[in-house]
Amino acid sequence: MLGLIDSLIRIIKTGDVTIIVLSVIAIMLFYTLLYAVSSGGIGGGDIKLLMGLGLCIGFRSSIECFVIAALLFVAMRLMEMLRLGRITGENHPFAPYLLVAYIAKLCIK
């Protein structure tokens, strides 16, 4: 939220709306491409959450949150495999990992 407020303040000070418009377009294109490439691996809700994070904390920080969330997801799946001896075919939500990564990013910053 602070990133969005900061962007709005910067727009008001400079009067340059193109910065926020280009940022929104870049975020939407990147995550739409990610959704298209993932072939069902990441859902539309995750993409919307990532776009919202991108608007609030910035494009670069949202990418960092995505990477942290992916690493957390892989670690949890590996622990599941070690515990059960196999990986279940169930789908797992990605949004909780995104939110944990976002909170971690806020605490680190």
**What are the sequence ranges of the domains in the chain?**
2-108
C-alpha 66/C-alpha 94 separation (Å) is 10
Percent residues over pLDDT 90 in the chain: 5
Residue 86 reports pLDDT greater than 80: no
**42 vs 96, which has greater pLDDT?**
96
57 in Cβ contact with 33 (< 8 Å): no
C-alpha 58/C-alpha 92 separation (Å) is 26
Average pLDDT of the segment spanning 47-63: 80
pTM, rounded to two decimals: 0.66
Percent residues over pLDDT 70 in the chain: 69
